[in-house]
Structure 1
Amino acid sequence: MQIELVKGVNLKVLSTQKFKTVSIRINFKSLIDANEITKRALLANLLSTNSQHYPTQTDYRTALSELYGAQLSSDVSKVGKYHVLTLDLDIVDETYLNETGLFEKATEFLKSILFYPNVYDGAFHKETFQRELENLKDEYEAVYEDKQEYAGIETSRLYFDTLEQQIPSWGRLEDLTGLSQRDLYAVYQDMILNDKIDIVVLGDLEEERVKKAFVDFNFKARTVNNESLFYSINEVKDVTRKKEIQPITQAKLNLAYKTTIYYHQDHYYAGQVFNGLFGGFPHSNLFTILREQEGLAYDIASGIDSFNGVLYVQSGIESTKAIKVEKLVAEQLNSIQEGAFSEDVIFQTKALLKNALIQSEDHAESLIEKYYSFNLIDKPMISLVEWADRIDAVSKQDIIDVAKTVELKAVFLLSGE
C-alpha cells in the first residue's frame, strides 16, 4: 500500500528478500517547462556532487564509504508531459553486516544532501556550480560525437510539435549561457516545495521502519497536478524531413512514427508484439530482411516510447542507400499491416517478450521502474503472470489493427559528404 507522508509526497515500500541490497529512489516530478529542463539537469548533477555537510567531493566519497560503499546517483528523464529528477541510493542490506541502523544512517545522508545543498546567501557554491556547468557542457559536446544519439535527438526535434518535447531530458547547451548560481537555487527551491515526490524503497525492510525514517524529512504539502501523463502530437502534422551533412563514414537514417501504443493502455500489448515483429528483435523484419538478406544496414532496430506514443526506427547505413532503405522499411510495415506473418513468428516474439519480463525481475532497478511507471499512469501494478497472460492474449488481428495505426511523421538522415 502507498503511504501519503503529506499531500503530494508518497512513499512505497517494496518488501523483498531477493537482493542483498536496499535501494532507495526519490523521484521529483513536474510538468515539462522548456525554460527549466537544462536547469534541472544541472541541479541533478550538483545534488550528487557535494553539500553543506560534505563540501568537497572527498568528503562526499568518505561519507558514502562509511555507509559500506553506498552508491549515490542522480538522473533526469522525460515521461510524457512530465520531467522527472531522480536520486538513487543503494546500500548493503545490514543483515549481511555486523551493523545495525545502516538504513537510518543512509536516509540521514539523503536528508542532508536534499535539505542542505551547497548553498550560501541564496546561491549555489560558486566553484561547484562552475565545475558542474563545464561538465555538463562536455556532456553536450559528447552527444554530438555520438552520431546515433545525435541523430536520435534531431529526429525527435523533427517529430515533436512543441519545444518542451523537442528538448532532450538533459537539456541543451544554449540554455547554460547566462545561468547563475542564484537562478539554480530558485529552481531547487521550486522543486523541493512544489514537485510531486514519490519515494520508493526496495529491500528486506518493514514498512513502519521505512515510514518512520521518511516522516522525519518533513516535506511540506504541495498541490498535485493531475494533468494527463501521455503526450500526442497534432493529428494533422505532416511528414517532416531533414538531411544533414557531416564528415562521417556511416550514415544514420532515423524515422519516427505516430502510434496509438501507450503504456498499459488498450493497444499496449499488441503494440509490443508488433514492435517485436517489426524491428525489436533479431528475428524481426527489419533485421532479417534489411540487414541480413539485403545487406543494406550495418545495424537497424525499432523501439517504442509508450509515454509519447512514438515508434522510432534507427539505422546505420551507407549514404547512397538511404532512399532504398526507407522504401524497404515502409514495405516491412506494410507487410505487417497486411498480415504477412505466421503464427510461429508471433509465438517466438511473445516468448522473447515474456523472457525479458522474467529477466527484469532479477534487477532491483527494473522492479522500482515498473512500480513507478504504473504509479505515473495511476493504475495498480499487475503481476508478472497477468502481464504475460495479456501478451499471450494478443491475436494476429490485434497486431494487424495496431500496425495500421502507425503513421510516418519524421525522417532524419545524417549523411557523409
Structure 2
Amino acid sequence: MSDFGRTAADDTDAVERTLDLAWELLGAQPAHPKVAELALQVLAAQPERSSASLLLGYHREARGEADEARRLYLQVAGRRDRQFISAARALRRLAFAEHDHPGALRWAHTVLAEDHEDWDDWMELGSVLARCGEHEDGWRQLDEAVALCSRTAPDDLPKALGKRAEYLLGSLAPPDRFVPAAEEAVRADAANSWVALLLGWAYLVQYRFTDAEQLGLRLLRENPTEDLLQNLVETARTMLGIVENAHAKDITLEDIRRTGLIEMAWQQLRDQVLGTDLDSALAALDDVLPADLRATLRPGAPISDETESDKIGSIAAEDLVAWHDGQQPGSGAAWGLAEPFRLMSTAEIIAMSTEIEADQAAHPDWPENEIWEQVMTDDAGAYLVVVAFGALVKRRPGHPDEPVAASMADWIWDRVAGFGGPDPRPAPRKTEDLPTDLPLSPGRR
C-alpha cells in the first residue's frame, strides 16, 4: 500500500491512537505482551516520548521484570519533564516492594518536593518513615494524611482510613495503636473484611473477648467458610469460658497472659500478612543456604504420621522439622555463628520430651507449667528454646535463660540476611526489643 499523500499529522495521529490503545490494554491486562509491542511502536517513532517509556515500565513491573522497569523509570525521571513525578512515584513503589525502605524514603521525599497536595503521597511517606524505624513520626504522618484526605478528597476517606490501618499493621504498630484506626476504617467501609478480621484478633490481644466474638460472628455471616474467622470466634469463646469459670478451672486468665499465647497468635497473623512469618523465612533461607550447611540438613519430615506428634511444639518446632528434620550431630558450626547450635530432629525432640515427662523432678530447667519448645542443641547440654511470647532463648542446666532472638522467625531472617538474602522485616520498634529480664523458671533462680 502506498504512503503517497500521507502527512506528518497522519503519522502523529497514528502514534497517539497506538499509545491510547496501549494504555487501555495496560489497564485491563498489564502483563499482556501486546502492551510492550504497542509501546515500542510509539518509541520507535518518538524515542523521547516519556509517557510511552513510563507505560513500558509499568508493563515490565507487572511482569516481574523489576530491573528493566527501574531502568525505564530512571530514564524518564532523568528527563525532568511532565512525567517526572509519575516516574518518581513508580520508583518509590518499586523500592518499597523490594524492601529497600531507605530508597523508598528518598523517592517519597522527592515526590513531595514536586507535589505536596496529594494525601496519598503523604500516606506513603508515613508508611516508609515507620518502616525505616521512625515509628512515631511515621504514624503521626499517617494521621495527617487522613486529615488531609478528609479536607481535600472526602470521597476517598474510606480508602485513606483503610490504608492507614494497613500501614500501621505493616510497621508493627501495637494493638492499642492499630485498633482505633481499624475501627474507624471498618465504620467507614464495612466491606473491608480483611481489616475487620485483623481488628478482631487485635481485640483478643486487648482481652476484649466479647467484642472479638461479636465481630467474628458478623464477618462469618458474610463468609462462613473462612478458617481464620472461625478460629477467631472459637478463641474468643474459649477465653470467655475461662473468665466465666475461673474459680472452677485449673487455668485462669492470668495463666493465659503469662504464656503469651494470644499475643503470639496476633503476631503470627500479622507476620503472615507481612510475609515475615517463619514459613516465609524458611523459604527465603532455602534460596541462600551455603552448600556446606545444606549438606548437614536432613530431609523434611511432616509429623502427621508421627504417633507422638503432640510432643512436637506447634509454635516453631513443627515448621522446622517439616522444613528439615534436624541436622547431623556435631554440625552446628556450619551456621557460622559463635556457638555451634544445630537443628534437632523429630526423634530427638520426642525422646527428650519423653525423658523429661517421665521424671519432671530430675529436670527442673524444663518446668511442666510453662511453654517451651526445644528446637536446637549444641550437643553439649545447651539448647535453643522457644518460650512464652515466642521468644527464642538459650537454656543451659542451672543457668537463667539467655535471650537470643525475639522469635524463631527472627533468628531465621537474621541467617537469611547474613547469607546475603533479602530481609523484608520492618525496622523493629524500640519498645519491642527482646527483654533482658525474662522470667526465670522454678529451679533456675
TM-score normalised over the length of structure 1: 0.27
Structure with greater proportional helix content: 2
Structure with greater proportional strand content: 1
